[in-house]
């Protein structure tokens, strides 16, 4: 059986960037990706220098195309369901649905996914409702916007940020009360806040038109920002017994090393929280440099 230098699990910005660095370092690697990256639901990705406004599917295709120039890189359109150490020779066994692979090291770069306390948000997410003002605020500038956030911390954070792109802003807490201090801050900036629970979102083809509250109030909005709950879509870090901190982030040394020798992490997978494509790609390149140096030192 072919033994890889590294198996990269996840083909988003972090995983593909790491694969490029490792491929150029002449490492025999495999990349596993099932095209479930969370930005697939949006029309455009922003903030990546030279690629601002690119479609996520095109970004992924370009990355994979570049990897084809390196013969030591193999790409599998497949999901990894289990990983475990194979004690002899300090290798790892990696299992997809039908096959088994062996590798000296593993890079976890599967990213995160979202869910919402309001399931209907999914109908609008990536088209008129978003989670990151830096990614999508410019496109929504000066429109009548909503911030849907259910904790004071997120209300304060997002209201300050989004107010920079549009002064026509209304806050919706979906039934959660706000302190007088927060209410006063919003009032001082002429931002209205509704604390009544949301009954329904109205619109068509993913474009928001109105937000209906349980008391019958109908508020016209053309888009806005929501606070998802983020989670890792698999238990691979736990299978490998990587140490987690009290917030569920994977413990690292800042250079991609986890607490388990030969296991690395890059991108959103590490902290379980969102980042931009540019930051994730940079993190993937940095972690790949750690992997390559460790392999080089091992064989020197």
Mean pLDDT, the chain, rounded, equals 96
Q: Does residue 98 register a pLDDT over 90?
A: no
Q: Does residue 95 register a pLDDT over 80?
A: yes
Q: What is the mean pLDDT of residues 171-199?
A: 97
Q: What is the mean pLDDT of residues 144-153?
A: 97
Question: Which residues lie below 8 Å from residue 94, measured CB to CB, with a gap of 6+?
Answer: 7, 9, 32, 80, 82, 83, 100, 101, 102, 103, 106
The structure tokens 């697939």 sit at 40
Q: Does residue 1 register a pLDDT over 80?
A: no
Q: What is the mean pLDDT of residues 143-172?
A: 97
Coil, strand or helix at 266: coil
pLDDT digits (tens, 9 = 90+) for 107-146: 999 999 999 999 999 999 999 999 999 999 999 999 999 9
All structural domains of the chain: 3-112+232-299 (3.50.50.60), 116-226 (3.50.50.60)
Alpha carbons 193 and 180: distance in angstroms, whole number: 12
pLDDT band at residue 242 under the 50/70/90 scheme: very high
Please give the model's pTM, rounded to 2 decimal places: 0.95
Q: Does residue 155 register a pLDDT over 80?
A: yes
pLDDT over 70 for what percent of the chain?
99
Q: Does residue 89 register a pLDDT over 80?
A: no
The structure tokens 């020798």 sit at 261
The DSSP symbol for 252 reads -
Q: What per-residue confidence (pLDDT) applies to 97?
A: 85
Q: What is the mean pLDDT of residues 139-163?
A: 97
Task: Quote the distance between the C-alpha of residue 70 and its chain's center.
Answer: 27
Alpha carbons 109 and 265: distance in angstroms, whole number: 6
pLDDT over 90 for what percent of the chain?
97
């Amino acid at each position: 059986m072919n033994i890889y230098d590294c198996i990269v699990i996840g083909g988003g910005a972090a995983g593909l960037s790491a694969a490029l660095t490792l491929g150029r370092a002449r490492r025999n690697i495999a990349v596993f990706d099932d095209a479930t990256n969370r930005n697939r639901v949006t029309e455009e990705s922003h903030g990546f220098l030279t690629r601002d406004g690119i479609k996520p599917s095109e970004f992924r295709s370009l990355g994979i195309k570049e990897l084809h120039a390196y013969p030591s890189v193999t790409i599998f359109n497949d999901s990894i369901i289990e990983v475990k150490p194979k004690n002899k020779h300090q290798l790892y066994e990696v299992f997809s649905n039908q096959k088994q692979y062996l590798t000296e090291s593993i890079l976890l770069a599967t990213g995160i996914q979202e869910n919402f306390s309001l399931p209907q948000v999914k109908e609008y997410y990536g088209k008129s409702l978003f989670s990151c003002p830096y990614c999508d605020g410019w496109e929504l500038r000066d429109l009548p916007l909503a911030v849907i956030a259910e904790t004071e911390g997120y209300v304060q954070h997002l209201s300050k940020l989004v107010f920079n792109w549009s002064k026509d802003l209304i806050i919706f807490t979906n039934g959660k009360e706000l302190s007088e201090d927060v209410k006063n801050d919003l009032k001082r900036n002429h931002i209205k806040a509704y604390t009544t629970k949301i009954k329904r979102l109205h619109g068509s083809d993913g474009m928001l038109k109105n937000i209906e509250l349980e008391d019958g109030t109908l508020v016209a909005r053309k888009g806005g920002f929501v606070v998802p709950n983020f989670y890792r879509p698999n238990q691979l870090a736990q299978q490998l017994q990587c140490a987690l901190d009290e917030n569920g982030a994977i413990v690292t040394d800042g250079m991609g090393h986890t607490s388990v020798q030969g296991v690395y992490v890059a991108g959103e997978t590490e902290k379980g929280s969102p980042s931009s494509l540019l930051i994730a790609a940079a993190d993937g390149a940095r972690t790949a440099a750690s992997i390559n140096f460790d392999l080089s030192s091992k064989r020197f």
